[in-house]
């Protein structure tokens, strides 16, 4: 049996990059798998957070996930800090992971930037906590954006070393699930940069809360080259902005890039952009409407998260007990 686990940080608003990169896949996977989805507040505090903003961000992210189609009656949706196994297994795995392994993590290098000495120790050990998240449920499949590939490799290395060191197979090795057209959504202003919540230009991203006018405006202003769309995927080589918009179209309409180009090849952006905006509005408007209702009912969101934490704990506690036994803490 396969078990799916994934996590998302409760910082900032959900944007199209999060939605197409991960959340849509989370929603689809609910149909065929046991799914566990986690708002990773322990990860959030690896960089400075204002407590009131974090508190609000946790609820908002839960509401946004439900609005996007996560069904808390089927999938388990919960808040990481409320299940103790994450932090407790992470400590044990910090004694399994090697400093040399963490030194190779590119995300730490990017996030710590020039001031590496001033970064928190938590930011450095972030990927070990991520491994604990997954392994605490013995998850077999982990849907993520392609920027998380290296962290998933590390989780596998940690699981394998723990099993070998303790001489008992406590953890299965988790598989990343990365495929799909627009898994990596790029900035609308720069086809070589990822769409990001921290981009200073709001025009660079589509927020899940953008209304139809904002979406149409941003797509209209999106940077492109001057050529018409090619009729085959190979023609997108060296055209990152065009490739990004076509990839977004494909993902939003559940078609391949080849199919989109079969329909839109030969069109200029003056023609393609309004078509893309229409598809985007149709996909996002219902999510937007559900989110507007949900975010006003924080008591309901808190109840969903509490129930999710209880269900998650019921799975993770026996794994934590197995870890304790494997290490020799208990008999």
Active-site positions read 111, 194, 197
Length of the chain, in residues = 331
- Least Cα distance to 133 among 107, 109, 158, 98 occurs for 158
What Cα–Cα distance (Å) separates residue 168 from each residue in 264, 322, 327? 55, 10, 10
The Cα 307–Cα 74 span in angstroms is 12
Query: Is 195 in contact with 15 (CB distance < 8 Å)?
Result: yes
- Cβ nearer to ligand TRP, comparing 24 with 273: 24
Place of tokens 């449920």: 137
- Cβ nearer to ligand TRP, comparing 82 with 224: 82
Strands, E, within the chain: which ranges?
3-8, 34-39, 76-79, 141-143, 175-177
Residue showing the smallest CB distance to ligand TRP in the complex: 7
For residue 321, what are the contacts with CB-CB under 8 A and spacing of at least 6? 330
- Cβ nearer to ligand TRP, comparing 5 with 291: 5
- Cβ nearer to ligand TRP, comparing 20 with 134: 134
Nearest approach, Cβ of residue 124 and ligand TRP (Å): 14
- Least Cα distance to 126 among 156, 153, 94 occurs for 94
Nearest approach, Cβ of residue 284 and ligand TRP (Å): 21
**Interface contacts to ligand TRP, rule CB under 6 A:** 5-9, 40, 43, 130, 133-134, 142, 144, 148, 151
- Cβ nearer to ligand TRP, comparing 38 with 294: 38
Phi, psi dihedrals of residue 104, rounded to the nearest 5°:
-90, -5
Cα dihedral 288/293/296/302 (nearest 10): -90
**What token pair was written down for 308?**
């999710």
Nearest approach, Cβ of residue 152 and ligand TRP (Å): 8
Nearest approach, Cβ of residue 150 and ligand TRP (Å): 10
Nearest approach, Cβ of residue 293 and ligand TRP (Å): 27
């Amino acid at each position: 049996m396969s078990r799916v686990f994934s996590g998302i940080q409760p910082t900032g608003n959900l944007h199209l990059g999060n939605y197409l990169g991960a959340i849509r896949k989370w929603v689809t996977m609910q149909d065929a798998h046991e799914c566990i989805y986690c708002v990773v507040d322990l990860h959030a505090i690896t960089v400075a957070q204002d407590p009131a903003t974090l508190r609000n961000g946790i609820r908002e992210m839960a509401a946004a996930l439900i609005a996007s189609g996560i069904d808390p009656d089927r999938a388990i949706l919960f808040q990481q800090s409320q299940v103790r196994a994450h932090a407790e297994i992470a400590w044990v795995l910090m004694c399994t992971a090697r400093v040399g392994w963490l030194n190779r993590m590119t995300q730490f290098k990017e996030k710590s930037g020039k001031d590496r000495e001033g970064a928190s120790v938590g930011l450095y050990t972030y990927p070990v906590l991520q491994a604990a998240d997954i392994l605490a449920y013995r998850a077999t499949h982990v849907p993520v954006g392609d920027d998380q590939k290296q962290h998933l490799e590390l989780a596998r290395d940690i699981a394998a070393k723990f099993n070998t060191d303790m001489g008992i197979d406590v953890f299965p090795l988790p598989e990343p699930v990365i495929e799909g057209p627009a898994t990596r959504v790029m900035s609308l202003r720069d086809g070589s940069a990822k769409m990001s919540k921290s981009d200073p230009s709001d025009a660079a991203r589509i927020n899940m809360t953008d209304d139809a006018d904002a979406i149409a405006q941003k797509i209209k202003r999106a940077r492109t080259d001057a050529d018409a769309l090619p009729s085959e995927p190979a023609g997108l080589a060296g055209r990152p902005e065009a490739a990004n918009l076509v990839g977004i179209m494909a993902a939003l309409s559940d078609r391949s890039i080849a199919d989109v180009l079969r329909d839109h090849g030969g069109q200029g952006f003056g023609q393609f952009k309004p078509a893309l905006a229409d598809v985007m509005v149709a996909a996002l408007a219902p999510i937007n409407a559900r989110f507007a209702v949900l975010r006003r009912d924080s008591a309901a969101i808190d109840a969903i998260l509490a129930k999710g934490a209880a269900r998650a704990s019921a799975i993770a506690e026996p794994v934590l007990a197995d870890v304790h036994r494997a290490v020799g803490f208990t008999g």
